[in-house]
Amino acid sequence: MRQLLLLLLLATGTSFITPKPTLYIIGDSTVRNGDGSGKNGQWGWGSLIHQYFDTTKINISNQAIGGRSSRTFITEGRWERILNDLRAGDYVIMQFGHNDSGPLDDTARARGSIRGTGEESREIYNPIRKRQEVVHTYGWYMRKYIADAKAKGAIPIVCSPIPRDRWQNGRVSRADNNYGKWAKEAAAAGGAYFIDLNHLVADRYEILGAEKVKTLFHGDHTHTGKAGAELNAKILSGALKQPMGQYLLPPPRLIKKKATLAAMRLANKYFMQQWPDPGKPTFVKKERPSNLWTRAVYYEGLMALYSIDKKKTWYKYAVQWGESHKWGLWGGTQVRNADNQCCGQTYIDLYLIDRKEERIRDIKACMDNMTASQKIDDWWWIDALQMAMPVFVKLGVLYNDTSYFSRMYDMYAYTKYRHGDNGLYNPVDHLWWRDKDFDPPYTEPNGEDCYWSRGNGWVVAALVRTLAELPPSDPHYAEYLQDYKDLLEALLPLQRADGFWNASLHDPGNYGGKELTGTSLFVYGMAWGINNNIIDRETYLPVVIKAWNALVKDCVHPDGKLGWVQSTGKEPKDGQPVTYDKIPDFEDYGLGCFLLGGSEVYKLK
């Protein structure tokens, strides 16, 4: 009969296509909170686990729902609906326990199960369902899930419940004597694969420490924010290699060093061909000298490229730029605008290569005027931190003069704590408002605070370039370091699936899309931290790889032109739309950001 059917199918041109298996995920709000989109700031790991799977090979169906226990997920008919669709070769990951300890028959939830794994049961009147019900043990319900799944030819995987943010004597409280233990026993009794997610996550929490773990939760000790859910999903994906390895995406691999350097050279060559005379003024609506901030940022990147690629062409081009301006600043030595002081970073770097006093004469005079003055409120926009802080620290190191460090901190602290109503730094979100116009109550269209990607990228670069040279003995070094770490951590859950960060960090719907400058600066900061053993390599390296690969593959044109560069401005809407082919108003600073990021990526081991 089967042979006859096969012949008929072949004769009619019909063929079988083996359907992809489906991974069903069941559990409570720590697995999926609300509709899974994080609307209330709370996320479950099941809403983020898909990014670790090759969805061309397997479907992901997160059926978890908040407030449910191992008992009520069954009694509400949710498990039966999954069973109706469950096929041989499918997978079921289950995690229950957080809600099983509640009352069996209260009028609020009536969701508890009997503690343990035995066969005992209790008949109760369920006031929610208004009927009699036989309640079983937690282990009984878990064994039922396992048996039902196996009867359909599916593969059950039991997870112990993720830990809460509860500590005792410096250790995370674990579920060794309750639901973690019982989940393991149920898995063993039913012949299911077991993942001790409770222990795996708790181990990671203890490495991070209580203060850091607190930031992973949103509003209570049970429900994670996006960063916490990301961490849990990542840990679980690593534990799934044995039962589901064929469906997991391979870890991202960084493009080869040669490819990174080639991309940097190509982009830089394109720019130098467009600007063969480094002293030629720029013209965007009006003429400006080429020692303005946009070009100065480019030369920061060029010097970073030169540090890994000692081409005389790079060095000569930078020297010609300085010489064309007689090593001066736009506005002279009395200028207080940080944008006009940015060129001093490269002037000092070139002086350190060839100690000709004219190279730093004007920038030193300018910054000496700053230190002699009592005025400290010049940095009213966060971009200024990147433009001027490294100049102060470079001079302080060069002359062994801590007065530069002191004045730098005074101005940094004013921007951070005092400018506007309460400063430009949000200690809750660990992100920066661009200037006082964006302080609350100003919000993005989705109601969130406005955090501009490139603006926060400037802060990252400022802190990197300060920490790279500031002596650790400086009294404010620890604060800079903590601000740097906190900012990078805040960026982790905000990375897009394609590797970029949106122009608006907290409102992906407000001109969301690929953007080179902010992404490059974040790559710069993270790669530098990895190279200097300051941040966790395991956490940040995949983020850097994903972002840098995207920058090289999606932004670099065959001729070296860079795409997806947001034009100058101060907020997400400026310079829109940002596209692959659109040329920004200034072409230089985007390349500078790209070269800064690439220089640190090139050093990764």
| Residues with catalytic roles | 29, 220, 223
In whole angstroms, give the CA distance from residue 17 to residue 22: 15
Measured in degrees and rounded to the nearest 5, phi and psi for residue 250 equal -65, 150
Q: Are 30 and 95 in contact (CB under 8 A)?
A: yes
Residue 519: CA count within 13 A, CB half-sphere: 30
Cα–Cα distance between 535 and 297 in angstroms, integer? 25
CB 503 within 8 A of CB 527: no
Copy the structure tokens of residue 224.
């994670």
Angle of helix 358-372 versus helix 343-353 axis, rounded to 10? 130
Q: How many angstroms separate the Cα of 98 from the Cα of each of 49, 180, 222, 310, 409?
A: 20, 10, 9, 59, 47
Query: Which tokens sit at 230?
Result: 């990301």
Q: Is 32 helix (H, G, I), strand (E, B) or coil?
A: coil
Strands 155-159 and 193-195: parallel
User: Could you say which DSSP state residue 158 is in?
Assistant: E
Output the six-digit token pair for 359: 């190279």
Calpha distance 447→269 (Å, rounded): 43
Interatomic CA distance for residues 502 and 550, integer angstroms: 13
Q: What are the φ/ψ torsions at residue 237 (nearest 5 degrees)?
A: -60, -35
Residue 124: its H or E element: strand 121-126
Count Cα atoms within 13 angstroms, Cβ side, for 503. 24
- For residue 441, cis peptide bond before it (omega within 30 degrees of 0): yes
AA identity, residue 560: G
Q: Assign residue 536 a region (left: φ > 0; alpha: ψ between -120 and 50; beta: otherwise).
A: beta
Cα–Cα distance between 207 and 202 in angstroms, integer?
Answer: 9
Pairing of strands 286-288, 167-168: unpaired
Helix, strand, coil shares of the chain as percentages rounded to 5? 50, 10, 40
The secondary structure of 66-102 as a DSSP string is: TT--TTHHHHTTHHHHHHHH--TT-EEEEE--TTTTS
Cα-to-chain-centroid distance, residue 202 = 22
Cα-trace Rg, the chain:
29
Packed helices 257-274 and 588-603: angle between N→C axes, nearest 10 degrees: 160
